[in-house]
Structure 1
Amino acid sequence: MPPPWEPPPGAPQGWVLPPTGGYPLGAGPYGGQPWYPGPPAGWCPPGFDPADPLVTPPGVGLSGWFDRCVGAARRGWRLLLPILLLTQVLPAAVLSVLSLGLDPTAKWETSTVEDPAALPDTFFTDLATIFLVLVGGSLVIGLVQALGWAAGTWVITRQAAGEPVNLADALRYGLRRALGLWGWTLLISVIVGLGVCFCILPGIYLAFALSMAGPVYLFERHNPIGRSFRMFHDRLGLLLGRVALVVAVVIVCTVVASVIEGVGTAPFGTDPLAAPGSAIGVVAVIAVTAVLALPAHLVQLVGLLVTYAEQRVHERPVNSAGLAAELG
């Protein structure tokens, strides 16, 4: 029980002490009045679990969100790392090697020695080949990545609920949800891409507004785009701040890995796969830099999932066990 509160001057007739912990600011019979003292520190609304390992209750703030992100990573890293290595890191490394092997730059330079202004004889064929391979490879990789996001979400949520998890069951769940999640991800990518084409800012806005669509599909499986927009606009500052932190970490990790890859592959020339020795060296550099991007994948998975759980709890009381049951 908080210390006794005396009715302040101007309080309505019949003013009484709020119940244990007080009302949330703006709620209760006199919430929002200038004389209302507000909830005590550490107060949590009824029906919410302040100790839930995944769901950040209202009023806990950024520190509570961060603690749950760290806790999810600590509980699940033994399973999340192999899932992300298989479904995120390995496909990206394979696509990088393929794009490097199909790069026709060295062949074009050789064929245009006599007339640098002329197009190479195989210019359009080579361009179409690399375009088709990269687009097709990206689509396949997107499906594999969707499997990984679904499997990782299953692991984090069930661990928070205290339920048993293992790699095989996680991948089986991811396989069941991969196709649907992949389809929505493709649609969201097209929407964000169109936004980028209409100047950069609309694309950035759409990327943030649709950041919850993946978790919405996995947990609710209904109207992920509309639900994500509504969450974004209902709690703009909260969601924007959380997602911005996740994006910042992802960008830093990705840029560092890309710079290291560029510096590491530069000494092997424009056609590094022509000689066995240089090919081994380039593949090793790409493999190492792909692994260096692993923290970006982990931060994105954990950060967006914990943010989604926090959005849900602002709509109605929910806990880790309830979210785990929704995954099916």
Structure 2
Amino acid sequence: MTDPLISANFAGWWGRGFALLKAVWRPMALVQLVWVIPVLVVLIAVQLSFMDRLNDAAASMDQLNEAAASAQRGVTANIDPGSLFMPLLVLIPALLVAGLVGLVVSGATYQLMIQRVTGQPVSIGAALMASLRRVPALLGWGILGGMAVTLGFICCILPGFYVAAVVSILTAVVMVERGSGVGRCFQLFNADLGTSISRIATIAGLGIGVSVVSSIVTSIVAAISGGTGGFAVQGHVTAASIIAQAVVTCLFSVISGTLFPPLLLTAYADMRARTEPFSTAYLMPTAPTAPTNPTW
């Protein structure tokens, strides 16, 4: 098969995913910086402005541990909750804005890949504009997908992992198919469970590996820069540790945002090809829509 997205087996999917990554990783990494650099600046600025509070909060955590031990002996202790939660409250507005920008960047990443595989000029500006038009759909379906995953975890944990695997292709569905969302993800995922599970489970395993490496590197950087904690208040915080950990976190965010979309787009293409007649040609701007109920 010569289709750049669709493969007949796992090895073909793996090869196509990394071939697509190799072909378009530079513009994808650049578009990730549109989101990461402002987040990095805000994150560092907020944490530095609250560095004293962070260290006070760390001390309060120690007080909390002492209070728990003292309560067993019938002794009470006074703890200031504000020092624990105020820094997080300040970050909320910034995180909301970052989330919206992240949606635009996520959609633009898929647009860049579609431009590449359909032979169009690869343009970051055009990708961002196309993604911006799809933000309402990405936001609406993203909220519904998140609620579905949360409900799944409430229902004995395992359904949550299943729903999370299903909605992992949601961005691809929303960007490629107008008017489709969570229901379409279920249709595609369940059409061939072997194909779907093998690909999504592999991506999840890679995600865990990246997270573990990120945690190890962050810990090493924190130790080298003279701090033992970050915004999560794990210990003493210094300006150097705040900046270093924020840079490492954002760096791994760029890596994840560049590595996983090609694998997810090719997984989506494989799922769709097993549900209905489909090829990369259907992603062309003037291509016809694939039939919803194909005749085999």
TM-score, scaled to structure 1: 0.71
Q: Which amino acid aligns with 1:120?
A: I
Q: Point out where structure 1 has 5 or more consecutive residues left out of the alignment.
A: 1-49
Work out whether 1:214 is the aligned partner of 2:171: yes
Q: Could you list the per-position Cα deviations for residues 241-289 of structure 1 after superposition, in whole angstroms to 9, with x for gaps in the alignment?
A: 10111111111112211222133224325689xxxx9414531342134
Alignment correspondent of 2:3: 52
- For residue 78 of structure 1, the aligned residue among 10, 21, 26 is 26
Report which structure shows greater RCO (CA 8 Å, sep ≥6): 2
Alignment correspondent of 1:247: 204
Structure 2 CA distance for aligned equivalents of residues 326 and 146 of structure 1: 25
Aligned length: 269
Q: 1:254 to 1:92 in 2, by over 3 A?
A: farther
Identity of aligned residues (%): 28
Structure 2 CA distance for aligned equivalents of residues 111 and 314 of structure 1: 53
Structure 2 CA distance for aligned equivalents of residues 185 and 313 of structure 1: 24
- For residue 69 of structure 1, the aligned residue among 4, 12, 17 is 17
* 183-192 vs 129-138, greater mean Cα deviation: 129-138
Structure 1 CA distance for aligned equivalents of residues 197 and 62 of structure 2: 51
Q: 1:99 to 1:252 in 2, by over 3 A?
A: farther
Deviation at 1:153, TM superposition (A): 0.7
Alignment correspondent of 2:259: 299
Structure 1 CA distance for aligned equivalents of residues 60 and 106 of structure 2: 44
Deviation at 1:150, TM superposition (A): 0.9
Alignment correspondent of 2:281: 321
Q: 1:127 to 1:52 in 2, by over 3 A?
A: same
Contact kept, 8 Å, 1:253 with 1:293, in 2: the verdict is: no
Q: Could you list the per-position Cα deviations for residues 191-247 of structure 1 after superposition, in whole angstroms to 9, with x for gaps in the alignment?
A: 212322333212111101222222111111224111111112221111111011111
More helix by share: 2
Note the 1:269-288 alignment, pairs <5 A. Answer: 269=228, 278-288=238-248
Q: 1:200 to 1:133 in 2, by over 3 A?
A: farther
Larger Rg: 1
CA RMSD of aligned residues (A): 3.2
- For residue 56 of structure 2, the aligned residue among 87, 103, 107 is 107
Deviation at 1:176, TM superposition (A): 1.7
Alignment correspondent of 2:146: 189
Q: 1:110 to 1:158 in 2, by over 3 A?
A: closer
Alignment correspondent of 1:151: 108
Contact kept, 8 Å, 2:108 with 2:128, in 1: the verdict is: yes
Deviation at 1:155, TM superposition (A): 0.9
Work out whether 1:312 is the aligned partner of 2:272: yes
Q: 1:296 to 1:191 in 2, by over 3 A?
A: same
- For residue 118 of structure 1, the aligned residue among 51, 59, 77 is 77
Contact kept, 8 Å, 2:114 with 2:283, in 1: the verdict is: yes
Q: Point out where structure 2 has 5 or more consecutive residues left out of the alignment.
A: 68-75, 232-236, 289-296
